[in-house]
Chain A
């Protein structure tokens, strides 16, 4: 069949709308603030091989990595109609343990094999492990929480009671987890239903064909974009402040080789994996790299498997960008992913300086709180991330107080947190002057100050507290972030990654980094 630009456009939008509808269902029926308020989830549909057809505009760090979950589920579990496979194992398709991915097959007629797969990933605010919120400063994976290899959570439309019970028995907030998992199952069901409707309407051959065509289409566009980059090798390096256990910088180095319409992104020379939990697995490095290339494409092209066909990622095993079991990984997904993006963009800036912005805040400022609410006697585990400054762009200052690059989660309203948790927020404002100067200044970070109302365990996983976000084209660096403990009126500076036990009325102030400036001079 020859390419039909008309029908193609119809299908392209159809596929994306299915992924978006999954997201609506998940967010509206989920129970934990992290999913329902902050939208820390992603949804996508896949072809028979597990290649992405379309995904919603959700979390960039999830989206590049989820195909590996689908592939792991296909390899490890025979999925019958009505089954749903759950997994979070970072070394079998996952990224870090709180991200639980649910994969479901879509069977058509009496087929023996699924014609499509649907999957969604959501960040659960607790999956057990050594600290509430499951983002601890661990030294091995086993401390970080319950490890779920690909396993059937639903068989023939019935939840497998003992698997669910096993999960719920290992987490601090089982009711919330059960509600969130139910919402995830429902989201997959919605996508399955929609795909069936589309097949009923258009016929399966056509649907399958366009599922392939959209990937080819994206590939064509990305190829064109890469071909426009000047051939050559472009290197860059940048570092994480530390791994949370020592104060040694952790370097990530990249060489990007552009050859015609192909790109090779080689992380050889990056530091070895660390004892602390900032290790990224291959899926994360792939996500971050593909994200950077996707941003170079100017049209609003659907993000699917086509992007990955153009860019080859080399990440040496055992390094910080491709850790091995049982390395601790909680921070790899949220912090190291940001630095990988910074490094890849830094290298791309050497190829096309005008098109790449200065570094953004380069961290997600993860804060987890846990304890027992004295008002109700119930346990709570809460997780949030805080926005910061975006780097200046060629033609515009960076935005202030937003999530950048690999994250786009929302805040939890102050009035919602204070209603549901024994915590008060004392200030939530922009950190004036933190953006780097330049022709186009970096955006400002955020100041968020918490006062706990009872004994509370806190984990902070943050970065860019020492090494600031870089400026571009002679723009200035953004201000590094600060974590401050205020106890009995005295301020104490905290490291970038820290685990604390707070007493009632202790305060914690997080000042997030500003973005780097772009270009010389004043804006």
Chain B
């Protein structure tokens, strides 16, 4: 058995999860931001030894950071003449309505690097104005004079006829510069979004290529795969040309890891809740992880399939203040890592983490496994000031901060569940990240979710997810045809080239037959709508679309004609996965607390037991109030909750349900029915 390793480069630590004949081992080394591969190579040699025949799956923030920190390539853009400003104009909106000082969106291509080319393809693919070769040469000559590091080719309607983009790319190929064509990166209509995605790709590709080359040079013959934002991995060679697909791969891997951990706990429906210092990522998993094609990075739309993660700018470092109207605000300002919460010793403003400390929900002597001692006095002084201004006691203020922060988190969870037509009560809350475990139980209680899972591997969930991720590739093309003009044979024909490409490329990655799954889906909408719903391609895809529309928006209309907008193929190469130990509740014993301390819940002080997560054996558990502290994070078990450690070492907490589960009443159903009776009296909502 050859070794497989998941490697996640984080801001502070580089995590390695190694799977070999001995099973699963975990290793952490300090990150080396100037060259992330240094830490990786060090970690590999310490953790794994012989990796020559092994496989490394790596999640990299290289592309993400390049965009966020504006360190990407100098990109030149060739576009249809007359449309040079599409990326600057965007959708012609401003992002704040009532703010005179509203700032402009960022664009990744400066005006002097934008080149218009006289050419035109119509919406139906007809060439209205062919490219003049001499004019193209002149444009390329001017472009070369600017010495760009990458070129994006973005022409109108290239999703239906790519010949013009191909001609430009062919002309550029004699010159050693990476070229990203919009029909290649994202063959779908809507120019701003397609071009934006393409430009992001051009912007991050050179950096990614250099990084991967340096990494490959260090790891010898081991096979390198790169994590993508869709939750799957791709070969490093592929990642080099479509680096845009690796943006947001870290959080995506966390969701994949969360799903795997939940599976070992026998739970298939979870909401993953990753609460860090400055932001919180929430994602819903209903057997499979949800994927979206609508996301943004640093003001730029990104329309590739990525795991549907809702991010809110609030976390343990969010700052509390009293605003001009007297309301207690938490965030969006954050103390970040520097200065950090007041209890870290430098901060001058009160944060959520400070509030947890003031309530006794953090053990100041065992923070990060005792590597850091927290300052209790500093936040107390700040809290006294703030409490005075809000006419509250310090205790009420601290509880208030937690409550407001939790309400923000609840809203984020409702966005991924209720707003998508799911009832959060049908899901378990899987919490990780530095602050996730401190808030999970109270948030779950507020949403009437019955189970909270805090994984044993909470600290390396992303690396674990990388190890567990399958190889995934997405393919798509615009169709834009009414469904009733598409017979089954024709539909099959449309998918044929995508399938062939998928099978060919996956074979190159070593997947075929039993290890390869190819899924076809269509983006469908009612004719006239602008937003599509992706449904699996089965013969009754129409019915499935109506069902999903009703779930999402409260109504459907089976008589209204539909349109197929995009054809999508997802190819999955099944990865070899470690067997995580399964849960068994047969052994039950009371855990032994290492210490006691005072903690505040619901305005009352409780004697609270503190446990070390690392010391708890499977099957042991206890009642709240309790704190389960690990080297990475603390789990707060409030009064009324109990917890147990499962075979895998995960903490499973559940509350006494306060009231019986409310069944949806018929009047609720009536409330979401829209029967547009005039034309189709049977157009009832199906739920």
Contact = CB atoms under 8 A, between A and B. Distances in A.
A413 B83 contact: no
B552 to A, nearest CB: 7
Given A32-B528, A220-B325, A189 B82 contact: no
Contacts of A33: 530
B101 A30 contact: no
Nearest to A355: B100
A10 B403 contact: yes
Interface in A56-80: 57, 60
Interface stretch (B269-277, B572-580, B637-645, B670-678): B670-678
A430 B97 contact: no
Interface in A160-198: 161, 164-165, 168, 175-176, 178-179, 181-183, 185-186, 189-190, 192-193, 196
Interface stretch (B64-72, B186-194, B259-267): B186-194
Contact of B326 (A5, A181, A193, A295): A5
Contact of A157 (B91, B328, B675): B675
Given A25-B554, A403-B94, A415-B189, A299 B157 contact: no
B325 A301 contact: yes
Q: Which of B99, B325, B400 has the most CB of A within 10 A?
A: B325
Given A5-B400, A411-B92, A291 B98 contact: yes
A402 B552 CA distance: 31
Given A10-B404, A13-B408, A415-B189, A189 B100 contact: no
A401 B85 contact: yes
A65 to B, nearest CB: 15
Contacts of B531: 27-29, 36
Interface size class of B (residues with CB under 8 A): 35 or more
Contacts of A221: 324-325
B671 A192 contact: yes
Interface string B70-97: 0000000000011111101101111011
A446 interface: yes
Contacts of B404: 6, 9-10
Given A393-B101, A399-B102, A446-B89, A3 B83 contact: no
B327 A8 contact: yes
Contacts of B530: 27-28, 30, 33, 36-37, 416
Contacts of A411: 89, 91-92
A426 interface: yes
Contacts of A24: 419
B207 to A, nearest CB: 29
A427 B82 contact: yes
Nearest to B561: A175
Contacts of B411: 13-14, 17
Contacts of B400: 5-6
Interface in B532-570: 549, 552-555, 557, 560
Contact of B97 (A179, A192, A408): A408
A450 B97 CA distance: 29
A127 interface: no
Given A36-B529, A424-B122, A402 B98 contact: no
Contact of A428 (B83, B528, B678): B83
Contact of A404 (B94, B123, B671): B94
Contacts, number: 232
A418 B157 contact: yes
Contact of B189 (A408, A409, A413): A413
Contacts of B408: 13
A256 interface: no
B189 A419 contact: yes
A305 to B, nearest CB: 15
Given A182-B674, A401-B89, A410-B92, A297 B98 contact: yes
Contacts of B668: 193, 196
B88 A400 contact: yes
Contacts of A299: 323-325
Q: Which of A17, A294, A413 has the most CB of B within 10 A?
A: A413
A246 interface: no
Contacts of B85: 401, 428-430
A46 interface: no
Contact of B100 (A12, A356, A387, A415): A356
A418 B82 contact: no
B495 to A, nearest CB: 21
B328 A6 contact: yes
B553 A28 contact: yes
A159 interface: yes
A31 B563 CA distance: 12
Interface in B265-308: none
B83 A5 contact: no
Interface string A395-407: 1100111111000
A217 B672 contact: no
B103 interface: yes
A283 B411 CA distance: 33
B94 A12 contact: no
A179 B526 contact: yes
Contact of B675 (A21, A36, A158): A158
B197 to A, nearest CB: 14
A159 B325 contact: no
B104 interface: yes
B192 to A, nearest CB: 6
Nearest to A36: B530
A61 to B, nearest CB: 11
B24 interface: no
B170 interface: no
A413 B192 contact: yes
B190 A415 contact: yes
B327 A295 contact: no
A430 B101 contact: no
Given A5-B322, A25-B553, A413-B190, 6 more contacts: A8-B327, A9-B328, A183-B553, A408-B94, A409-B92, A410-B92
Interface of A: 3, 5-10, 12-14, 17, 21, 24-25, 27-33, 36-37, 39, 57, 60, 82, 157-159, 161, 164-165, 168, 175-176, 178-179, 181-183, 185-186, 189-190, 192-193, 196, 200, 217-218, 220-221, 224, 291, 294-295, 297, 299, 301, 303, 355-357, 386-387, 390, 393, 395-396, 399-404, 408-411, 413-416, 418-419, 424, 426-430, 446, 449
28 contacts: A5-B328, A9-B327, A9-B407, A14-B407, A14-B411, A27-B531, A28-B552, A29-B553, A31-B528, A32-B528, A39-B93, A157-B675, A164-B676, A182-B557, A193-B554, A193-B671, A295-B98, A299-B325, A356-B100, A387-B93, A396-B101, A396-B103, A402-B89, A408-B93, A415-B189, A418-B157, A427-B83, A430-B89
